[in-house]
Amino acid sequence: MKVASLEQLEEFSSRMDIDLDSLAFNYRYIKAMVSPAKVIAVVKANAIGHGQRHVARTLESLGVDFLGVSNFLEGVYLREAGVRAPVLVFNGLTPAQMRRAIELDLSFFAFDSESLVLADSLAKDAGLRAKVHLKVDTGMGRLGFLPGDARSVAETLKKLSAVEVEGVASHLASPYVPEHDGFTRAQFEKFLAAAGELDPGHRTMWHFAASSGTLRFKEMWLDAVRVGAILYGVSRVWPLPWPLRPVACYKAQIVQVKRLPKGHNVGYRLHYTAPHDMALAVVPVGTTDGLTSEHADGGFVLVRGKRCRIVGICSCEMMVDVTDVDSPAPGEEVVIIGKQGGDYISAVECAESGQTAYSNLLTRISTRVPRVYFSNGKCTHIEVLGDESDL
């Protein structure tokens, strides 16, 4: 769907406003805090729902050191969108993906000796070099080789001529839970020992901390940090200890206001029965747009700056108790995540009221919800269902 003018914004019954100036502020703040460490800005999962294309372009214009994606196709997408900044793919790659990554100058994780040998062979066939980061599993139990295999991996590397090792990395299992700090520090010690065997001259980029680890463990910044959530002003470490700004505001419009009598059902599964005569607003945002069934009678939205309870939720709509709002009407703004009046609902709070994580909520907001981008107070781009419009 192409958008020809700002007037078409009125046609959007829901939208996510993305403040690129706040994104830039957060990036610069994080960069200054962790300096001289580099910043790997994570734009995986459609930039955690914020829109990968424009977020990546903004970060590239700021001179980002690296962009991080989890899925191989996300890296391809960035290259096809014209992004030339270094890109690191986190997921393990199949042989076909690895070949294409080398051709597109995408860096990727090598996770055992076999993946290194394959990368070397594919790079030689292409007449190129494979840019890899060695992934050590220090306790996550996911991608990577165990610290005890570091020496054999180092020996394998000596035999390869078309592999360029850019970095050594690992990932924390529970950096946001203080009760697990002992495990976290043990992971760090294992990583330092393994990295020392893999890269005894410390010539490459060692990176260990992601968003939560970056906030809580300064000693773990090393040569680079991988930050996603805090780049967008949200985090499992809450409240945020740094003055980072929320980048997104998720809002919708009321499409109907109706009076329901006491005892009337609201929503699927007979979950909620009106305890009194009530004014009910129907809002065209539901479980297909990031919310969960647990938001029903557990979450709130803002209407005229007042917190109004979500009392029922369907796949494409939610129902909101607006009894305490004076004469609510169709077309009125409903804020799901963001500020209205003197109140604010964060992505973390919204997610917790739906018994999920902020990342689950934000990444499930479908592309049918327009992303509306602002810079210097002006709308610059709109993206709907994958179609991009410049304004």
- Closest to 72 (Cα-Cα) out of 46, 41, 101: 101
Element of type H or E holding 273: strand 272-273
CATH fold label, 36-231? TIM Barrel (3.20.20)
pLDDT of 391 > 80? The answer is no
Residue 306, SS3?
strand
Per-residue pLDDT of 274-312, as tens digits, reads: 999 999 999 999 999 999 999 988 899 999 999 999 998
Domain range annotation of the chain: 36-231, 248-390
Per-residue pLDDT of 216-228, as tens digits, reads: 999 999 999 999 9
**Hey, what are 185's tokens?**
């520090």
31 catalytic residue (yes or no): no
pLDDT of 239 > 60? The answer is yes
pLDDT, position 314: 84
pLDDT, position 313: 84
pLDDT of 4 > 60? The answer is no
- Looking at the domain that runs over 248-390, which CATH code has it been given? 2.40.37.10
pLDDT, position 270: 87
Per-residue pLDDT of 133-152, as tens digits, reads: 999 999 999 999 999 999 99
44 catalytic residue (yes or no): yes
Per-residue pLDDT of 168-191, as tens digits, reads: 999 999 999 999 999 999 999 999
Reported as a pLDDT band with limits 50, 70 and 90, residue 5 is low
Element of type H or E holding 340: strand 333-340
User: Considering 29, 124, 268, 339, which one is annotated as catalytic?
Assistant: 268
pLDDT, position 3: 60
**Amino acid, res. 305:** G
Half-sphere exposure of 72 (CA within 13 A, CB side): 16
User: Considering 38, 44, 131, 251, which one is annotated as catalytic?
Assistant: 44
